[in-house]
Amino acid sequence: MREIIFDTETTGLDPKTGDRLVEIGCIEMVNRVPTGETFHCYFNPDRDMPAAAEAVHGLSIAFLSDKPRFHEKAAELLEFLGEETKLVAHNAGFDFGFVNSELEMCGLPPLGRERMVDTVALARARHPGAKNSLDALCTRYGIDRSHRTRHGALLDAELLAQVYVELTGGRQIGLSLAAETNEIEMTVQALPVRDRPFRAPRPHSASEAELAAHAQFLETVKSPLWND
């Protein structure tokens, strides 16, 4: 099963008021295991960068000024995302809203909401009443985020991929090992039994001399328990 874990960085909180997408990072997973395939891109938003947003992700307009516009990379992004692949994000409605806003400006169809998997909703269902930020979940599951000094789309997607595996029950390595063990046992049982010459069982009872020596030893035991 192929899934894409992704995250975005933006100029603000609402595309309807003119905020733009400035970074997207995507991680491909197959059967809950990262394949190593990624898509990562910065975008020139053609507008200013509010100080509050820059403080979160550290992306300045000076840095973004020579980056491609979203429409220049839209086809490449959509090819990576595929047509039916589930798209996993933390607070996914936010990320879907920005990506779909950019697609709309390009005259392209939006990402279907039926593809959306929201890890915030998964975390709330699994840990009701607990903090469910990405940082909090990394702490809960012992995921190292010491290298995360600021938000970054690809870095956050990498962390989220690990969190997502934990939220969905882990990789269940034990079950796969059990299946492999059963296969080995079935293979061993299926091996043909070779013809072997019959050997009579060897006697293991004590000889008369051994019995006498044992009785003599017991006589030397003082206050034996078996006499109580």
Confidence check: pLDDT of 223 > 80: no
Q: How does pLDDT run across 1-27, given as a tens digit for each residue?
A: 999 999 999 999 999 999 999 999 999
* Domain boundaries, given as residue ranges, for the chain: 2-172
Token couple for 177? 């090992």
Query: How confident is the model at residue 149, as a pLDDT?
Result: 65
Residue 171 pLDDT greater than 70, yes or no: no
Domain 2-172 class?
alpha beta
Q: How far apart are CA 167 and CA 175, in angstroms?
A: 17
CA distance 26 to 78: 11
pLDDT of residue 202: 64
Instruction: Indicate yes or no: pTM above 0.75.
Output: no
Q: Which residues are catalytic?
A: 151
Q: Assign residue 184 a region (left: φ > 0; alpha: ψ between -120 and 50; beta: otherwise).
A: alpha
Cβ atoms of 53 and 17 within 8 Å: the answer is no
Query: How does pLDDT run across 65-88, given as a tens digit for each residue?
Result: 999 999 999 999 999 999 999 999
Q: Give the separation between CA 212 and CA 175, rounded to whole angstroms.
A: 56
Q: Collapse the DSSP code of 60 into the 3-class scheme (helix H, G, I; strand E, B; otherwise coil) and give the result.
A: coil
